[in-house]
Chain A
Amino acid sequence: MNNKRVEIAVAWAEEVQALSPASNDLTASAEGVLKSSDLARNTSSDLGMKFETEPSNFIKLLDELAPDDDR
């Protein structure tokens, strides 16, 4: 993990998000969020063109995929 990225993320957490736990906890969290954010960005990009615009479509989809009530 690039130290500069982690330092920037920690600084942002402290200055913008006003988080002030022990610095090694923020560092651990920053490393985690950078790693997972990179993975999600890289992996999701192929699916990105299929975005639904409203999260509420998910709730509607659950109902649509359910078996009929009269089973």
Chain B
Amino acid sequence: MTANTLHELTLADAARAVRSGEVSSLELTTHALTRLEQHSPALNCTAAIYADEARKAAQVADDISARGGETPALHGVPLAHKDMYYRAGWTSENGSRVRKGHVPDITSAAVEKLDHAGAIDVARLNMVEFALGITGHNEITGHVRNPWNTDHITGGSSSGSGAAVAARLVYGSLGSDTGGSIRFPAACCGITGIKPTYGRVSRYGAMPLAQSLDCVGPLARTAEDCALLLGVIAGHDERDPLSNQRSVPDYVSGLADSVSGVRIAVPNNLFYDPVTDEVRAHLENSLAVLRDAGAEIVEVTIPDSMAVANLLNNLIGATEGAAFHSRWLRERPEDYGRTTLVRFLTGAMCPADRYLEALNLRSVILKEFSEAVFSKADLLHVPLMPGPVPTLEETDFGTKKEGFAEFLAATGHCTRCFNYLGLPAASIPCGFTGNGLPVSFQLVGRPFDEVAILRMAYAYQQETDWHTRSPDM
């Protein structure tokens, strides 16, 4: 392989290449740093690049390789993460003015695990202010731009992660998802991302948005890459008491198992309401591929109670977010971007009984949903973005000052409800719309059944090449 092709490797291939000695970590890391420095300005995807630290870490990785012996799963592979994963002594600003210059004294559990797995941390990536937004706009740090067309949104709130992975600047990234913030950037940028089950990955050391909803998860180029990353970061952590005690399966070893007979549910109501004909055609094509791979497609009716799940997710998210930001909202409201401020203020005014009602109803709606879907199928196939990826201008609600609630309702129609229910869900690229931007479908699984999602996504990616396409940089 040549320097011109190093960035085209998947994360899994890069890890294999380092392990086999075909390429050194220093070569991979230097190449990633060069591309970050070259392309970040146009994309505005990085908050900081750790060039010296990364080169030193890569050299250490190569020294370890030279001594021989077994190396961990991500040995020597450069990654970069959303600017909300703390590393002790390193700045983490969460896309905000409020946290400008913030230096945490703890390191996040997910970053620790990636470090132990040998990954090289090369940059912190721009994000929506305090992770509160689905388009990628940020009035404070500037908007991240979609590498497929820089006039278009990346999706948010893990906007820098979506752009950097899609542009082949890094091999993978940690994002977070409270209402779609891994899945939207993955969908808008044409890469793969998975929001794990609530509690699958420790949130220790990650900036919180809504403690009842937040999930840590990976964005990468392929299902195999996501499986690798998830396998590293998943698992119980005593420092996050809500992280689940269940054992972590090997997400990678069974990826190539046959999906023959696996049942995929397709809804005959609710989720397709706002979807355009163009996107619907791509979704139907993706189902045809999965059917040809051996999956059984079954039609299901989504319970009426799911119609309110998005709204209840919003109530919980805004209220818990407002609680975390309580002091800053009162002492320095002028330091927030307007869109962020209005949404947090909404939470600060939410009646307590509405909030508690929203929490209490989760079990009720989850039981009804599970009975309607997972008694008949193993996975649910639904849309993600309902239409083509829009431009930054047409979704600039910080400037427009109106229309945001309607856009949020329509665009978040197929994502927030799964955060509300705590279910795992992944975004898988399945084509391009007429404006040249990617389109994706979403697979939702039973709690803690990320294995089924990743296996089906892998099967889809063996039959298609959407995930191999990269923007012309």
* Docked complex: A30-71 residues within 8 A CB-CB of B: 30, 32-33, 35-37, 39-41, 43-44, 47-48, 50-53, 55, 57-59, 61-63, 65-67, 69, 71
Q: Which residue of A lies closest to B367 (CB)?
A: A61
Q: How far is the CB of B128 from the nearest CB of chain A, in Å? A: 18
CB–CB A44/B308 < 8 A: yes
CB–CB A33/B346 < 8 A: yes
Q: Which of B244, B348, B448 makes the CB contact (< 8 A) with A17?
A: B348
Stretch among B64-72, B357-365, B380-388, B460-468 lining the A interface: B357-365
Q: How far is the CB of B359 from the nearest CB of chain A, in Å? A: 5
Q: Which of B197, B334, B349 makes the CB contact (< 8 A) with A30?
A: B349
CB–CB B199/A47 < 8 A: no
Instruction: Flag A19-34 by CB within 8 Å of B: 1 or 0 each.
Output: 1111001101110110
CB–CB B359/A25 < 8 A: no
CB–CB B350/A33 < 8 A: yes
Number of A-B contacts (CB under 8 A): 136
- Assuming the contacts A13-B349, A33-B350, A40-B312, asked whether A62 and B305 have C-beta atoms less than 8 A apart, the reply is no
CB–CB B349/A21 < 8 A: no
Q: Which residue of B lies closest to A32 (CB)?
A: B346
CB–CB B330/A19 < 8 A: yes
B311 to chain A: which residues have CB within 8 Å? 36, 39-40, 43
Interface size on B, residues (CB 8 A): 56
Is the CB of B81 closer than 8 A to any CB of chain A?
A: no
CB–CB B348/A57 < 8 A: no
Bound form: Cα–Cα A40–B350 in Å: 11
CB–CB B349/A29 < 8 A: yes
Q: Which of B199, B351, B362 makes the CB contact (< 8 A) with A55?
A: B362
Bound form: Cα–Cα A71–B452 in Å: 10
A58 to chain B: which residues have CB within 8 Å? 359, 362-363, 366, 422
* Docked complex: B10-47 residues within 8 A CB-CB of A: none
CB–CB B367/A37 < 8 A: no
Is the CB of B120 closer than 8 A to any CB of chain A?
A: no
Q: Which residue of A lies closest to B420 (CB)?
A: A58
Chain B interface SS verdict (over half)? helix
Stretch among B95-103, B266-274, B337-345 lining the A interface: B337-345
Q: Which residue of A lies closest to B319 (CB)?
A: A33
Q: Which of B349, B363, B422 makes the CB contact (< 8 A) with A9?
A: B349
Interface size on A, residues (CB 8 A): 42
Q: Which of B305, B342, B360 makes the CB contact (< 8 A) with A32?
A: B342
A71 to chain B: which residues have CB within 8 Å? 249, 451
Q: Which of A25, A43, A52 makes the CB contact (< 8 A) with B307?
A: A43
Bound form: Cα–Cα A10–B173 in Å: 41
CB–CB B449/A66 < 8 A: yes
Bound form: Cα–Cα A40–B315 in Å: 9
A19 to chain B: which residues have CB within 8 Å? 329-330, 333, 345, 348-349
Q: How far is the CB of B304 from the nearest CB of chain A, in Å? A: 9
Bound form: Cα–Cα A26–B346 in Å: 8
Q: Which of A13, A52, A62 makes the CB contact (< 8 A) with B199?
A: A62
Q: How far is the CB of A28 from the nearest CB of chain B, in Å? A: 5
A67 to chain B: which residues have CB within 8 Å? 446, 448-449, 452
B435 to chain A: which residues have CB within 8 Å? none
Q: Which residue of B lies closest to A34 (CB)?
A: B349
Is the CB of B405 closer than 8 A to any CB of chain A?
A: yes
Q: Which residue of A lies closest to B254 (CB)?
A: A71
B359 to chain A: which residues have CB within 8 Å? 55, 58
Bound form: Cα–Cα A51–B363 in Å: 9
Bound form: Cα–Cα A65–B424 in Å: 12
CB–CB B446/A66 < 8 A: yes
Q: How far is the CB of B100 from the nearest CB of chain A, in Å? A: 19
Is the CB of B314 closer than 8 A to any CB of chain A?
A: yes
Q: Which of B333, B341, B345, B357 makes the CB contact (< 8 A) with A44?
A: B357
Q: Which of A37, A57, A61, A69 makes the CB contact (< 8 A) with B351?
A: A37
- Assuming the contacts A25-B342, A29-B342, A59-B242, asked whether A36 and B364 have C-beta atoms less than 8 A apart, the reply is no
Given A51-B357, A55-B356, A58-B363, 13 more A-B residue pairs with CB atoms under 8 Å apart are A19-B329, A19-B330, A29-B345, A33-B349, A33-B350, A36-B346, A39-B308, A39-B311, A40-B311, A43-B307, A47-B364, A62-B199, A67-B449
Q: Which residues of B contact A (CB under 8 A)?
A: 197-199, 212, 242, 244, 246-247, 249, 305, 307-308, 311-312, 314-315, 318, 329-330, 333-334, 338, 341-343, 345-351, 354, 356-367, 370, 374, 401, 405, 422, 446-449, 451-452
6 shortest A-B CB distances, which residue pairs?
A: A29-B345, A21-B333, A66-B448, A62-B447, A43-B308, A66-B447
**29 A-B contact pairs sorted by A residue (CB < 8 Å):** A12-B349, A17-B348, A26-B345, A28-B342, A28-B401, A30-B349, A33-B318, A33-B347, A33-B350, A36-B314, A37-B315, A40-B312, A40-B357, A43-B311, A44-B312, A44-B358, A47-B361, A47-B365, A51-B364, A53-B360, A55-B362, A61-B367, A62-B422, A63-B246, A65-B366, A66-B246, A66-B448, A66-B449, A69-B247
